[in-house]
């Protein structure tokens, strides 16, 4: 197990290197000369050249990639072209809303989708099954901002139950925090619900056909225990895999959800950075999100042995 874990962790290194290379390549290819931008409008060509040397911009591509990577490994993502602040600092400021949004979405998705999927599989072919599958198809087809606007229109504008937009930190109390976060989380979670419900249903259908389930029925185990204890446990591996890979959808969706609900998180930081062509910020956010995605999937891989002790590496 430990050897497997070590191998699995090591295997993420080349993947992250590729990510870093792509992200660095983006900055390298970005139009505009960073030295000229830093030097300002009044600078002479000689001053710009001096800044270029001091930044190491005259060095070959791979040397620059190496030193950039070295800085990243030391937690230095560079400074924003626009504000001059360290990118790590800007990310840290925006972390709370995005993290809250993603965690709440994941919780909602898992809590809603797994019972739905189990129920659909248990009553295969019934109206419940059809409704769940229809929900899944709609979840896949409705872009997150459309869901967001529909929810905001219904629950905030028409019913007036919840604020239309904005974000309240958890430090101001859990109730205002949840009130601002619930609509965006549901909007963001819908596609995730679709994904998890579909895989749960498919896997459960497979598991429910196995002999040990018939044995459990024969010895008189109740339907609920069969579904949620005997069967779900054995369906856990594919479900966890999808929960892990679905994080990519969540990350992409968060960027848009934050725009719809005016949440000052990493997504808004990204959107603003694009409009201002603030490449170091874009780089930092892409690196951070990709790293999160890789780490989440690494954890998922390692969780397999916990869910299914038969898996031995």
Residue with tokens 């925006």: 94
Q: How far is the CB of 273 from another protein (least distance, A)?
A: 8
Other CB atoms within a 10 A radius of the CB of residue 122 amount to 20
**For residues 130 and 233, which CB has a smaller minimum distance to another protein in the complex?**
130
Binding residues for another protein (CB under 8 A): 14-19, 21-23, 26, 29-31, 137-138, 140-146, 149, 153, 157, 164, 202, 248-249, 251-253, 255-256, 259-260, 270-271, 273-275, 277, 279, 282-283, 285-286, 289-290, 293-294
User: Measured between alpha carbons, how far is 223 from 173 in angstroms, rounded to an integer?
Assistant: 41
CB of 149 to another protein, least distance (A): 6
Closest CB 141 distance from another protein, rounded Å: 4
Q: Nearest approach, Cβ of 179 to another protein (angstroms)?
A: 18
Which neighbouring-strand residues pair with 79? 86
Q: Among residues 259 and 305, whose Cβ is nearest to another protein?
A: 259
Q: How far is the CB of 28 from another protein (least distance, A)?
A: 10
Structure token pair of residue 154: 């219904």
H or E segment to which residue 84 belongs: none
DSSP per-residue codes, 96-108:
HHHHHHHHHHHHH
Cα–Cα distance between 214 and 64 in angstroms, integer?
Answer: 63
Instruction: Closer to another protein by CB, 169 or 210: give it.
Output: 210
User: Is residue 78 a contact partner of residue 69, using CB atoms and an 8 Å limit?
Assistant: no
C-beta of 291 vs 304, nearer to another protein: 291
Residue among 92 and 137 whose Cβ is closer to another protein: 137
Distance of CA 250 to CAs 30, 117, 149, Å? 27, 20, 17
Q: Which residue matches tokens 């201002």? A: 276
Going along the chain, which residue ranges are E strands?
A: none
Beta bridge partners of 1: none
CB of 290 to another protein, least distance (A): 5
Closer residue to another protein (CB): 20 or 226: 20
Please, what is the minimum distance in Å from the beta carbon of residue 233 to another protein? 20
Residue number, 23 or 186, with CB nearest to another protein? 23
Integer Cα distance of 187 and 142 in angstroms: 10
- Of 43 and 262, nearer to another protein (C-beta) is 262
Phi, psi of 90 (to 5 degrees): -65, -40
Cβ of residue 214: shortest distance to another protein, in angstroms?
Answer: 23
Residue 208 or residue 226: which is nearer to another protein going by CB? 208
- 11-20, long-range: CB < 8 A, 24+ apart: 12/294, 12/295, 12/298, 15/294, 16/290, 16/291, 16/294, 19/287, 19/290, 19/291, 19/294, 20/69, 20/72, 20/287
Q: Which two tokens stand for residue 294?
A: 């890789």
* Shortest distance in whole angstroms from residue 252 CB to another protein: 3
């Amino acid at each position: 197990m430990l050897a497997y874990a070590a191998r699995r962790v090591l295997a993420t290194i080349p993947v992250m290197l590729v990510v870093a290379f792509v992200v660095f390549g983006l900055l390298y290819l970005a139009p505009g000369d960073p030295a000229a931008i830093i030097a300002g409008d009044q600078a002479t060509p000689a001053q710009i050249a001096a800044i270029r040397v001091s930044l190491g911009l005259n060095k070959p591509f791979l040397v620059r990639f190496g030193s950039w990577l070295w800085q990243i490994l030391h937690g230095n993502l560079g400074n924003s072209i626009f504000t001059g602040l360290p990118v790590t600092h800007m990310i840290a400021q925006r972390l709370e809303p995005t993290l809250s949004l993603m965690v709440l979405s994941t919780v909602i998705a898992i809590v809603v989708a797994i019972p739905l999927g189990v129920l659909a599989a248990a009553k295969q072919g019934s109206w419940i099954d059809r409704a769940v599958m229809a929900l899944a198809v709609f979840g896949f087809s409705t872009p997150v901002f459309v869901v967001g606007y529909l929810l905001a229109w219904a629950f905030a504008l028409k019913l007036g139950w919840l604020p239309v937009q904005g974000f309240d930190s958890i430090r101001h109390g859990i109730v205002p925090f949840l009130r601002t976060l619930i609509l965006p989380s549901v909007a963001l979670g819908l596609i995730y619900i679709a994904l998890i419900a579909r895989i749960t249903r498919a896997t459960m259908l497979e598991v429910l056909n196995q002999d040990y389930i018939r044995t459990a029925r024969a010895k008189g185990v109740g339907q609920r225990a069969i579904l949620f204890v005997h069967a779900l446990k054995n369906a856990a591996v594919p479900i966890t895999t999808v929960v892990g890979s679905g994080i990519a959808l969540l990350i992409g969706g968060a960027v848009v959800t934050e725009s719809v609900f005016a949440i000052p998180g990493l997504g808004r930081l990204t959107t603003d950075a694009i409009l201002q062509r603030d490449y170091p910020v874009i780089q930092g956010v892409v690196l951070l999100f990709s790293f999160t995605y890789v780490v989440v999937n690494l954890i998922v891989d390692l969780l397999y042995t916990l869910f299914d002790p038969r898996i031995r590496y």
